[in-house]
Amino acid sequence: MIRIENLTVQFGSRKVLDQLNLELTDHEITVVLGRSGIGKSVLLKAILGLVPIVSGKIWFNDEELRTAPVRRRTELLSQVGMLLQNGGLFDSMNVYENIAFPLRYHQTASGNELDRIVREQAELVGLTDALLLEPSDLSGGMKRRAALARCLVQNPTFLFYDEPTAGLDPGTSALVETLIRHVSETRGLAAVVVTHDLDLVRYLGDRVALLDSGKIVACQSRDQALVAGSPIWERFITAREKIHRGQSL
């Protein structure tokens, strides 16, 4: 479990996250829903130590990340894999080398063991026949799958997905959604998906957390969130409909 307490992140005079609280539980997919530019990606980066934190605590089970010794902090963060919006593949490496990169960099596997792990993850995401292709030869959906396989080689317990279907056509988006669910169920992983896409909520969310004004203003099960009158329905879905009708919020 990852527990976030009173997390504040500020850029200049603007508080992007303001005393935010959220629990990310094991073996569940949590969808963090919110408007574009509201701070969803910043939340993931703050957990991983990629942006400066003004205040707050981040707990990995019973260990507080920010006060842990550097080596232990590295060990804790190695439990988390993150899939970037565009996949983040290295253009100079083919698919096989991209997937193998974390194993080589951290020197956690080599030789036949490295080859076995790479091929296992490629099979899981359906890229066995694409290992020798270059990133420029891949479709958007294939790039996401290759990036996901690269995350999985480190055997994480949590996967973070930053707008995983952004820029994809509806059919490819559906394939990526199915793959996220399949990987989580097959590997027993917890996942956090940040998005403004309601299709991801409907298909993936075991729990749905709404981020607004720097805080998690509601956190509900998917069934609760998608009922008219719920806090998430009223503050996000109904608000969108008002904008479509030209009404002020």
Q: Per-residue pLDDT tens for 142-154?
A: 999 999 999 999 8
Instruction: Report the C-alpha gap between 37 and 214 in whole angstroms.
Output: 11
* pLDDT tens digits, 209-230: 999 999 999 999 999 998 989 9
Residue 243 has pLDDT above 60, yes or no: no
Q: Global pTM?
A: 0.89
Instruction: Report the C-alpha gap between 142 and 127 in whole angstroms.
Output: 8
Instruction: Classify residue 50: in a domain, yes or no.
Output: yes
Q: Can you give the residue range of the structural domain that contains 8?
A: 1-79+197-249
Instruction: Classify residue 165: in a domain, yes or no.
Output: no
Instruction: Report the C-alpha gap between 198 and 102 in whole angstroms.
Output: 32
Instruction: Classify residue 6: in a domain, yes or no.
Output: yes
Instruction: Classify residue 158: in a domain, yes or no.
Output: no
pLDDT band for position 60 (cuts 50, 70, 90)? very high
Which residues is 57 bridged to in the sheet?
Answer: 5
Instruction: Classify residue 244: in a domain, yes or no.
Output: yes
Count of the separate structural domains present in the chain: 1
Please give the structure tokens belonging to residue 45: 């980066």
Kindly list the distances between the CA atom of residue 221 and the CA atoms of 20, 29, 106, 162, 210, in Å, as whole numbers in the listed order.
19, 10, 37, 20, 11
Going edge to edge, which strands form the sheet with 14-24? 14-24, 2-11, 55-60, 63-64
The CATH number linked to 204 is 3.40.50.300
pLDDT band for position 238 (cuts 50, 70, 90)? confident
Instruction: Classify residue 54: in a domain, yes or no.
Output: yes
